[in-house]
Structure 1
Amino acid sequence: MLIASRLARTTVIVGVNLLAKLIGLTRIILFFCRSEPAREKCLGDQKDLIMKKGRYFALRKGRTSLSGQYYHLIFSVKQRRPIFTDFIRARYLVHLMHRVDMQARAITLSYVVMPDHVHWLIKLNADSVSAVVQRLKSFYTKFEGENIWNKGFNDHGIRSDESLINVARYIVANPLRAGLVDNIGEYPHWDSVWLE
């Protein structure tokens, strides 16, 4: 009975690990392998990628960073404070976006700095999406003197069948949808490589 139980458990662990490797879902492993010994078996050589000082820092389910891939990134200010209504703050953030761009980490295709969040369409060149966003946030935090950002960010990898121009239009139209302006030309904190 004990042998059958161990065999069944090992089969489940191997099956879960194989499933996770096939579809890249480390959270499946962590869900099914709750005890520390089971987690060790499940994670195997992936443990160093997933755990750091006892905390999980893996990318969210399904999130990957591929060089040459296009991403729509959204990140926001803590408590959704409208700090970017201040012209100087908003323009400095735009300057930093171009600074990250100049460091050849990402190419900025379109962006809009809203009062309490940012939409940024990039083509990733180097690093990971997380590293690019972290770099931008840390540069701005040094300017501000305090961390104003919510943890994490939302990202959407643009599929080949999606139109980059349509995503850029969605990004640029945010001030219109929010009712901040009646004409996008009146809003100063946006840009796009596709100007029509």
Structure 2
Amino acid sequence: MPHYHTSHLRSGRFSEPGRIYSITTVTHCRHPWFHDFFVGRLLIDELRLAEKQGLATSLCWVVMPDHFHWLLQLGQCDLEKLLQQVKSRSAKAINQRLQRSGKVWQSGYHDRALRREDDVRDIARYIVANPLRAGLVKQLTNYPLWDAVFL
């Protein structure tokens, strides 16, 4: 069986404006930057800025200690460029706040384009329930770094 490098697997990636995507991306070395609420808010600010710029419509997101999940409807942009912008800007803000330099994010991300028959609400519920499954809280209302248009 041939060995494929991750960049080769992503070379055929296609972004479709208007399509709903489930995105997951992880911090560099899975460092738990987002245990700090205020650092998590810096990432959320970038998600909201992308929405304000018309690059995406957020259906839900949850910021976990070392990664985040984002269910979005893609605007008139390229998915890869959207994630590059969010990660780049949030890394700059995080490094500035923490008075450090260096990587914040692992390169790349996982994406899944949803099909029309997928139940978006069920997927959103699954995404925002991550803090419960991870044992970070006993009730989702006690976790501050999530949002969903459906709830």
Q: When the two structures are superposed, what TM-score results if normalisation uses the length of structure 2?
A: 0.88
**Which of 53, 58, 73 is the aligned partner of 1:123?**
73
From the CA coordinates, give the structure whose radius of gyration is larger: 1
Residues 71 and 141 (structure 1), Cα distance of their counterparts in 2 relative to 1, 3 Å cut: same
Query: SS state of the match for residue 121, structure 1?
Result: strand
CA apart distance, 1:143: 1.0
Matched, 1:73 2:8: no
Q: Which residue of 2 aligns with 1:40?
A: none
**Which of the pair has the greater relative contact order for Cα pairs under 8 Å at 6+ separation?**
2
Residues 31-52 of structure 1: per-residue CA shift (max 9 Å, x gap): 9xxxxxxxxxxxxxxxxxxxxx
| 1:164 positional shift | 0.6
Task: Count residues in correspondence.
Answer: 142
* Cα shift readout 1:83-140 (whole Å, capped 9, x = no counterpart): 1000110011111100011000111110000000000001001221111100000101
Matched, 1:173 2:136: no
Which of residues 83, 94, 107 in structure 2 aligns to 1:144? 94
Verify the 8 A CA contact 2:42 2:94 in the aligned structure 1. no
Q: 1:158 aligns with which of 114, 118, 129?
A: 114
Could you tell me how far 1:142 is from its partner in structure 2? 1.3
Q: What amino acid maps onto 2:34 in structure 1?
A: F
> Aligned partners of 1:65 and 1:58: how far apart in 2?
17
Letter in 1 for 2:113: G
Question: What residue number does 1:184 align with?
Answer: 140
Letter of the aligned partner of 1:68 in structure 2?
Answer: G
2:83 to 133, 154, 157: 133
Checking the alignment, whether the CA contact within 8 Å between 2:27 and 2:67 is kept in structure 1 is: yes
TM-score normalised according to structure 1 size: 0.68
Map 1:1-196 → 2, pairs under 5 A: 60=10, 63-145=13-95, 146-195=102-151
Aligned-residue RMSD, C-alpha: 1.9
User: For structure 2, which runs of at least 5 residues remain unmatched after alignment?
Assistant: 96-101
Give the deviation of 1:141 after TM superposition: 1.6
Any gaps of 5 or more consecutive residues in structure 1?
Answer: 1-30, 32-55
Q: Which runs of 4+ in 1 moved over 6 A?
A: none
C-alpha displacement at 1:144, in angstroms? Answer: 2.5
- The structure carrying a bigger helix percent of its residues is 1
Indicate conservation of the 8 Å contact 2:62/2:147, yes or no: yes
What residue in structure 2 maps to residue 20 of structure 1?
A: none
